[in-house]
Structure 1
Amino acid sequence: MKIRLIFLFLIFAFQFASGQLIDKNWNRIALSKDENFLKSAEAKRIAENVILYQKNNGGWEKNKSINRELSSTEKKKLLDSKNDFSGTTIDNNATSQEMKFLANVYRFQPDEKYRAAFLKGIEYLFTAQYENGGWPQFFPLQKNYSSHITFNDNAMANVLFLFQEMINEGEKYPIKIPSETLGKIKNSFDKGIDVILKTQYKQNGKLTVWCAQHDEFSLFPAKARAYELPSLSGKESAKLTLLLMSLKNPSKEIINAVEHAVHWFQETKITGFKEVRIENDKHLIADKNAEPIWARFSDLETNEPFFSDRDGIRKKTYEEIGAERRNGYAWFTDEPEEVLKKYESWKKKNVKTVEDKNFYTVSKDGSGDFSNIQDAIDQCRSFPYERITIFVKNGIYNEKVVLHQWNTNIKILGEDREKTVIRFNDYFAKIDRARNSTFFTPTFLVEANDTVLENLTIENSAGEVGQAIALSIVSNRVAVMSCQILGNQDTLYLDNEGKIYIKNSYIEGTTDFIFGSATAYFENCEIHSKKNSFITAPSTPQNAEFGFVFNQCKLTADENISQVFLGRPWRIYAKSVFMNSNFGNHITEKRWDNWNKTEAESTAFFAEYNNSGKSSEVKNRVSWSKQLSKRQARNYTKENVLKDDFKRNWYENL
């Protein structure tokens, strides 16, 4: 017996040293990091098999023993079936594990065939992903439950962990990935994380965890096979939570998702019982020393575990279902235990306790109090007596920001106007919320009174796709100082009859890119037109004394722009005045347009005074526009335009 053991040990040692793996399980071989094996002829042989099994759409089928020796007949059959895409999938580790194996072999045995197959796999994953960020189980889609967003058996999590590895390693990744492809991977990864956050199930408004699959349209928990009913999944939710916990500099939304998932795991763990086999049949027996376990399926509203046979009828215990399903399915899991073990160190690193104060710092690199702007705003006291300053360090902040009504008396101060960028890309058709979709598009929305924005670039990066607001101000006593407001149509929305002061700023757009009902005073600003169209579109209320007033501003345009109107009336009592400003020659002689509203010619007030530049002196203005006299112009002072009965001279010493 002793001699036999020594003999077996020597065989194992020889196989290990020569790069041969005794393990014949493809799922484990695919993830091997053993250097001796990956350098071996055996690894090269298996890599050739991986390429043979890859379909022409870039994906692989599941449950294939790719590592086994293939006959010439089998190889020919695989080549002949390259265009059969019916089984390509991310289920049961398929596609992601084959790609990982190719990358690991390529590190020690670089072959362009492996790299090409790997990149083809990436393209398959791009194509298979839904626009909302989810992945179906199979692609091309099948006409069954597999078209749902598939978290089941960690299918989607495996893809995202693979993408995360490529992103994190960058140039150190074994296979060189083109920079353009890497950018797409980052975008695909972000969309995947976004849909995970959106599918986290709420019980009475409180976040819990996830179902094994979610409807690809509504994002609600969905049914799969007859015994896989809509539920909260202990198994799949663990992997999704670990994925969120692995993210660097997590946003407040991600932290919130993890915190609630962990709470759910803590509340639903089953203690004092363990699963055992007795005479080849599963049973749950009492054992006070047993490690905690979780049910695979829990009720969406009560969190109670349930079980089901192939008839789809819910049962309270798996003793109530047939032996075939009871023994042929994993009804319990211990995977959430890994989440709980890692939680405290994760929390210590990522969940900061921030004291109430009047100055916070936001920094992309995590060196500030917060890594994104909205989290800093949400930390601020409601309706503070003293101004709170949020200092934003240089960086591109891809987020929608809202200063809510209760976030009064806040100053958002950028480190450098050119380098502190807040950017998002919502637009009318993307929002798709009927006729008022425009008002849901802002990158930055100010609902709070007594706000100051300074040294910031605020951009809607959607491009020329219709209405897309960069900055929306629907409150009172708001100052925008030394900022860049970038967009196209509807760049800057100023509304709700508030008083707004905009100074030393650059504002660009195409059509109606300064619009709304507020009273606003623009001082020493550059107003840049990117298209032959209209600058202002006021909707001034009938009883308002002033609308938009531009003083000492400079009107510029892109090259070959020659027919720009100063404004047109969004509503018939519109008011817009340009004074002491410099006009480029792109401003049309007509100056103003009535927007096909002839009645507005007698109700709107569009006027000019003492402007300069190539197109400032013309005789062809529309007859219904106004030229202010010196006496009238004296009324258009900053003090008069911005006066507020509640706070006099609020615009000074900001």
Structure 2
Amino acid sequence: MAPADMSTARLIRVDQSGKGDFRKIQEAIDSVPPRNNELVFIWIKPGTYSREKIVVPEDKPFITLSGSKASDTIITWNQGRDLLQSPAISVFASDFVARFLTIQNTYGTTGIAVALRVSADRAAFYGCRIISFQDTLLDDVGRHYFKNCYIEGATDFICGNAASLYEKCHLHSMSERGGAMTAQHRNTTAENTGFVFLGCKITGSGSALLGRPWGDCSRVVFGYTHMSNVVVPEGWNDWGDHTKQRTVFYGEYKCYGPGSNRAKRVAWSRSLSTDEAAKLFTKDMIGGRGWLRPAPSHFKRSSSTIV
């Protein structure tokens, strides 16, 4: 059940110095009752939070985790090799929001190391920095929105089978030899999933592919995106399975910059038509007009209300 008042949230403060309600982020999440039906705003004071793996369980919707500035509110973990067990933060609850946080996995360059796993419907991320090397962001299932986020990695660093809109995000590739930025996992054309990048920026060192197909019907599109020369001329790769060339949907629309030249793109990628772009480059693609919400304007602690 959605909260009756979408402008007021219960405020919980996390401060490692002991001046808040909790010292640990997970303790604050654990304090939210099961089947929660009010907005909960967990305000995380500046610091590096490195001694806990964060899980937002399925029965605790409508939680916001917020710092004040991503560069000084850092959630970090150091675990690798397992796609589902390594994330610094795993989100299983619907109607989740993260604001102004750095989320990183410092495991390194020797295999899978997820910083953020999103396995819930209706999740939004604003002004966050998401950093690792391989499989940085497991954009797993559900409808998601990322705005003004910085996402860094080298191999398949945005992967999964969510339906996600990335608006004005910065993708930074650390790949030296053509690692893929995306590995989208749509398996059939019946699934309304895919990654849409709108008004984004691509930078990096070395060279990088825009994407390769984890699923047979992988779908990724870029529109109005600045592509530096880190993007290899062919743009896309079939991951060694030529049959996927007939079933993937990889498109670009009015991108610019030295990496956007489509003269040498693989023949099975496409330049989107205006009609195709109009259907994809909108929040309607994720049903966002029905669930994206502004930050609360009022906060309450016990019986008092703070404006």
Does the Cα contact within 8 Å between 2:63 and 2:97 map onto a contact in 1? yes
Indicate the residue corresponding to 1:445 in structure 2: 90
Q: 1:515 and 2:159 equivalent?
A: yes
Indicate the residue corresponding to 2:110 in structure 1: 465
Q: Specify whether residues 627 and 546 from structure 1 end up closer, same or farther in structure 2 by C-alpha distance, changes over 3 A only.
A: farther
SS in 2 for 1:600: helix
Indicate the residue corresponding to 1:360 in structure 2: 12
The 2-side partners of 1:591 and 1:575 are apart by: 14
SS in 2 for 1:421: strand
Q: CA deviation at 1:415?
A: 2.1
SS in 1 for 2:240: coil
The 2-side partners of 1:507 and 1:363 are apart by: 26
Indicate the residue corresponding to 2:230 in structure 1: 586
SS in 2 for 1:382: coil
Indicate the residue corresponding to 1:653 in structure 2: 294
Indicate the residue corresponding to 2:249 in structure 1: 605
Q: CA deviation at 1:652?
A: 3.9
- Cα displacement string for residues 169-208 of structure 1 (whole angstroms, at most 9, x for unaligned residues): xxxxxxxxxxxxxxxxxxxxxxxxxxxxxxxxxxxxxxxx
Could you tell me which of 194, 200, 203 is aligned with 1:553? 200
Letter in 2 for 1:601: Q
Does the Cα contact within 8 Å between 1:383 and 1:409 map onto a contact in 2? no
More helix by proportion, 1 or 2? 1
The 1-side partners of 2:187 and 2:62 are apart by: 26
SS in 2 for 1:462: coil
Q: CA deviation at 1:381?
A: 1.7
| Misfit runs of 4+, over 4 Å | none
The 1-side partners of 2:120 and 2:42 are apart by: 19
Indicate the residue corresponding to 1:634 in structure 2: 278
Q: CA deviation at 1:546?
A: 4.0
Q: 1:540 and 2:186 equivalent?
A: yes
Could you tell me which of 10, 14, 29 is aligned with 1:377? 29
The 1-side partners of 2:119 and 2:194 are apart by: 14
- Cα displacement string for residues 487-542 of structure 1 (whole angstroms, at most 9, x for unaligned residues): 0000000112x000000010000100000010110000000000131100000141
Does the Cα contact within 8 Å between 2:37 and 2:61 map onto a contact in 1? no
Alpha-carbon RMSD across the aligned residues, in angstroms, is 1.2
SS in 2 for 1:438: coil
What stretches of structure 2 of length at least 5 have no aligned partner? 1-8, 296-307
Q: 1:103-252, aligned counterparts within 5 Å?
A: none
Does the Cα contact within 8 Å between 1:572 and 1:597 map onto a contact in 2? no
Q: CA deviation at 1:629?
A: 0.9
Q: 1:337-352, aligned counterparts within 5 Å?
A: none
The 1-side partners of 2:47 and 2:114 are apart by: 21
What stretches of structure 1 of length at least 5 have no aligned partner? 1-356, 429-436
**TM-score, normalised on structure 1?**
0.43
Q: CA deviation at 1:454?
A: 0.4
The 1-side partners of 2:293 and 2:250 are apart by: 28
The 2-side partners of 1:407 and 1:638 are apart by: 28
Structure with more relative contact order (C-alpha pairs < 8 Å, separation 6 or more): 2
Indicate the residue corresponding to 1:479 in structure 2: 124
Q: CA deviation at 1:472?
A: 0.3
**TM-score, normalised on structure 2?**
0.90
Q: How many residues align?
A: 283
Indicate the residue corresponding to 1:404 in structure 2: 57
Q: CA deviation at 1:384?
A: 2.0
Letter in 1 for 2:44: V
SS in 1 for 2:246: helix
More strand by proportion, 1 or 2? 2
Could you tell me which of 571, 577, 582 is aligned with 2:215? 571
